[in-house]
Structure 1
Amino acid sequence: MTVTISATELADRLHEPGLVLVDTRTHEAWAEDTLPGAIFLNVYDYFVPESTDAGYEGMAAGAMEAFRRTGLDKATTIVWFEEGTGMRSPRGLWFQELLGLEGGVILDGGLRAWREIGGKTRPGDSQADAITHVDGPAPEGWQPELAVIRDKLLSPPSDLQIFDVRRPAEFDGSFKHDCCARGGRVPGAFFMFYEDMIRNGRYRPADEIREAAITAGLAPEKPVVTYCHRGARAATALYGLRLAGFRKVGIFVGSWHEWATDPELPMQTGPAI
C-alpha cells in the first residue's frame, strides 16, 4: 500500500492542485524553516481523555474541526512531514484516516530528505492550528476500527495481538514516565521498539519490518492493536506494519499512560514471557 512519498516525487508534484503540505514539528520549527506553503498542525500534543466510544467520538470531532479550519478536509493529497520520519507525521496521517479522508502520505525521510535533493525551504507564515477535544458526535464517515477501546484489551478476542512499541525499559517496567502511576505493560503484549521500523529517518524496507514483526511474535493475518506511552509512537508502528502487509491494525490511543492510571487494571513486568 502507499504510505510514503519520496522527496523526488514530491518535488515533481509540489504545485499539483489540491496538494497540501503539513508540518507536524513544533510551531517554532515551522515558523523558522519549512516546506514552501506548508501549514502547521499540532497532532502530537493531543491526548484522549479516555479510550472509550465517547472519548474517541470527541477525539474524531475535534480532529475534524481542525481539518475544516485548515481546509484539509477539502484536500485531495495531504503530505505529512517532520524532520525525519518519527512519531509525529504518522500520527497526522492516522488522524486523517480516522476521519475517513483519503489521499494522505508521509514524506519519506522528512525535511532532511527534501534538503538532500536541494529542495527549497522558507519560514512558515500560513495557517497554524492544533487538534483539540470536542464533546460531541464523531463526524460522518469516521473509521472507529482505527481506535481500539480500553475494554477490548481487558477482554480481548482470542486472535487479537496486543503490541507494545515503547522502549525496552518501559516494556519491562524498569522505567516509567513521571506522569505514569505505574511501570509495566498490558498483560500478554508482544514487543518491538518502534524505532526498529525506522532507519535514518525513513521506514525500513517492508520485508525487513515484516521479518522483525514476525520474530517479535506477530502473525500478519491476525488483527493487531498497537500502544505506546500516549499514542504517538503507536501510529509509527501502525504504518510500519501496514507497509509489511498487516491489514488489521488499530491503536489503543490512551496507551500506557491511561492504563497505568487505574490500579485495578492488570499489568505485567519483567522480560517477555
Structure 2
Amino acid sequence: MKKILLIFSVILFAMGCSNKSENPGEISKEISKKIEVLSTRKVKKSLKNEETVLIDTRSYDEYNGWDIKETGIQGHISGAYNLPASSLEHEGIEAFLERKGITKDNKIILYGDDTSMAEMLSENGYDVYLYEAGIKEWNKKKYPIEKLPRYESLVPVSWVKKLLEEKDVPEYNGKPVKVINAGWGKKGKFHKDGHIPGSYYVHTGWFEVGPLWNRVSDETIKTELEKLGITKETLVIVYGEDPMPAARFAIICKYAGVEDVRIINGGWKAWQEAGYPTEEGIEYPLPVEEFGMKVPGNPDIIIDLPEAENYLKSDKSDLVSIRSWKEYIGKISGYDYIKPRGRIRGDKWGMGGSDPWHLEEYRADYGTYMRPYNEILKMWEDLKIDTDKNIAFYCGTGWRASEVLFYAYVMGLDKVSLYDGGWKEWSENPETEDKILKGEPENLNEEKY
C-alpha cells in the first residue's frame, strides 16, 4: 500500500470535452410531461413528511458549495441528498439509492439541470417528482441552503484548470501555487505516463519511513518541502491517482505549517473524465531557501502513541479506526508486513472499505470524489462517534486515516488529528501490544480501554 502559481509551460491548445458533472444537460420537456412538476410551495410542504427525500442531481462540487455556473448561489437545499446525474453512466441507480437508505417507499423529488434520472427512476417503479424551479427559486424565497463548511479546501478540476490558465477564480488570493501529484514510487512512473500540466511529482516515501511508516523527522519534512519549492505561504493543491496518498501528503503539509492546503475532488480521474489536457514526463521544481517557519507549525494535527493512549483514557476523546471490518475484528492484519491482528482496546470503528487499499465508505457513489458530507456525518452518528469530542483517526500506517482526517477538516471539525503510528505501531510496541482485542465486539463502539 506504500505502495503552481505555476504558469503552463505549454499553451493549452485544446479545451477538451466538458465535464458532464459540471455542465449537465438542459431540462427535457418530454420528461417533464411524464413526471409531475412540483411548485416550491408543494416541495416545502412535502418535505415535512419523513418519507419524502429531495435529491440534488448537480455535481458533487456544486453541492459542496462551488458556484461553478456563477449563479450567485453556493451549496444545496438544506437536507437534500446528492446524486449527480452523471453517476448514471457508471452503475445502476438502485445501488446508489440503497446506499443512501432510499427505497421505493419514499417520495423522491429531484432538482438540478439534468432530469434524465427522473425517467429512469419512474420506469423502475419509484415515486418520483420534479422540482424544476430548483435551487434558484428556493434561494430567491430565502429558504435554507447549506454547504460544506470548508468547501474551498476541496477544489473542482474546472477551478484548477482556470487557475493554471491564469484566469480569475474565486477563493484564491494570489499566493504562489504548487500543484502536486502524490503517490508511491521513487521513479514516479504513473506521473511520467500522464499528469496535470505543470504539476510536480511527490513520492510519499520522502515523507514517511519504515518500518513503522511514520512521518520522517521534522527537519527532513522541512528540507523536502523546500526542495519542492514550498513555503508556508504556498498554496499547495494535491491530487493523485488515488485520494489516499494525496491526503497523506496534504496532512504532512498542514502539520509542517503550510497555511493553505487543498485537495482536488476526484483527483486525476476527474481531470481525465473532464477531457482536460494532460502532459507526460517529469520535471522538478525550483527549490526555495527557507520554508518560512520552524516545523511543525501545526503539531496538533498529528499525534503519537502516548497521546493515543491518553485519548483512550479520556471521556472527551475518541480513537477511531478507519479499517475494514475483517481487519478490525482480527480475521486479517491487512498487510504482508504486519503480523498482529485485531484492534486497539477501547477504540471505535469508523468503517473504511473492503480492504486496506480501498475506502468505499468515504468515497462518493462512483470514482474518487469525497462522499457527500451529510452521509458521512450520519454514518458517524449511527456508529456513536461524537464529533464534539477530540477525535484521532488511525488505520494501518496512516494513508486511509489521513484521507478521512482531511474530510473531517473540510466538514468544519477542528478537534481532529491523525494517530500516525496506527495499528502497526500499537500492535508491535512492547508497552501496548497486549492492549488489543479480537473478534466481534458484543456492543460495537462501547468497549472500554
Which interval holds the TM-score relative to the shorter structure? 0.7 to 0.9
Alignment of 1:31-180 (within 5 A): 31-43=192-204, 46-47=208-209, 59-73=217-231, 76-84=234-242, 86-127=243-284, 139-140=294-295, 142-156=297-311, 157-176=314-333, 177-180=335-338
Question: Does the CA contact (< 8 Å) of 1:96 and 1:104 recur in 2?
Answer: yes
- The Cα of 1:193 is off from its aligned counterpart by 2.8
Amino acid corresponding to residue 226 of structure 1 in structure 2: F
RMSD over aligned CA atoms reads: 2.4
CA distance in 2, matches of 1:15, 1:96: 25
Distance 1:49 1:144, change over 3 A: farther
Question: Does the CA contact (< 8 Å) of 2:218 and 2:295 recur in 1?
Answer: no
TM-score of the aligned structures, taking structure 1 as reference length: 0.87
Which protein has the larger Cα radius of gyration, Structure 1 or Structure 2?
Answer: 2
CA distance in 2, matches of 1:179, 1:50: 10
Q: Please name the residue that 2:125 is paired with.
A: none
SS at match of 1:229: coil
CA distance in 2, matches of 1:67, 1:116: 30
Question: Does the CA contact (< 8 Å) of 1:20 and 1:75 recur in 2?
Answer: no
Worse overlay, 9-18 or 166-175: 9-18
CA distance in 1, matches of 2:252, 2:436: 28
Residue from 392, 414, 420 that aligns with 1:247:
414
CA distance in 1, matches of 2:398, 2:295: 23
Q: Please name the residue that 1:270 is paired with.
A: 439
User: For 1:106-127, what per-residue CA distance to the aligned partner results, in whole angstroms no more than 9, with x for missing partners?
Assistant: 1110111112222111113211
Q: Please name the residue that 2:363 is paired with.
A: 198
- The Cα of 1:263 is off from its aligned counterpart by 4.4
Residue from 365, 368, 388 that aligns with 1:221:
388
Question: Does the CA contact (< 8 Å) of 1:210 and 1:245 recur in 2?
Answer: no
Structure 2 alignment gaps of length 5 or more: 1-149, 167-173, 286-292, 353-358, 444-449
Amino acid corresponding to residue 338 of structure 2 in structure 1: C
Question: Does the CA contact (< 8 Å) of 1:209 and 1:241 recur in 2?
Answer: no
Worse overlay, 222-231 or 69-78: 69-78
- Is 1:14 paired with 2:164? yes
Q: Percent identity?
A: 20
CA distance in 1, matches of 2:309, 2:295: 28
Question: Does the CA contact (< 8 Å) of 2:212 and 2:397 recur in 1?
Answer: no
SS at match of 1:174: coil
SS at match of 1:22: strand
Greater length-normalized contact order (CA 8 Å, ≥ 6 residues apart)? 1
User: For 1:26-75, what per-residue CA distance to the aligned partner results, in whole angstroms no more than 9, with x for missing partners?
Assistant: 41100111111111111257237779xxx87x533211111101101266
Worse overlay, 243-252 or 138-147: 138-147
Question: Does the CA contact (< 8 Å) of 2:248 and 2:402 recur in 1?
Answer: yes
Structure 1 alignment gaps of length 5 or more: 129-137
- The Cα of 1:140 is off from its aligned counterpart by 4.5
Q: Which runs of 4 or more aligned residues in structure 1 lie more than 6 Å from their structure 2 counterparts after TM superposition?
A: 48-51
CA distance in 1, matches of 2:164, 2:383: 39
Question: Does the CA contact (< 8 Å) of 1:165 and 1:191 recur in 2?
Answer: yes
Worse overlay, 164-173 or 110-119: 110-119
- The Cα of 1:198 is off from its aligned counterpart by 0.8
TM-score of the aligned structures, taking structure 2 as reference length: 0.54
Question: Does the CA contact (< 8 Å) of 2:212 and 2:424 recur in 1?
Answer: no
Amino acid corresponding to residue 139 of structure 1 in structure 2: K
Amino acid corresponding to residue 73 of structure 1 in structure 2: T
Question: Does the CA contact (< 8 Å) of 2:178 and 2:235 recur in 1?
Answer: yes
SS at match of 2:320: strand
CA distance in 2, matches of 1:74, 1:159: 31
CA distance in 1, matches of 2:379, 2:412: 13
Amino acid corresponding to residue 379 of structure 2 in structure 1: A
Amino acid corresponding to residue 35 of structure 1 in structure 2: I
Question: Does the CA contact (< 8 Å) of 2:182 and 2:203 recur in 1?
Answer: yes
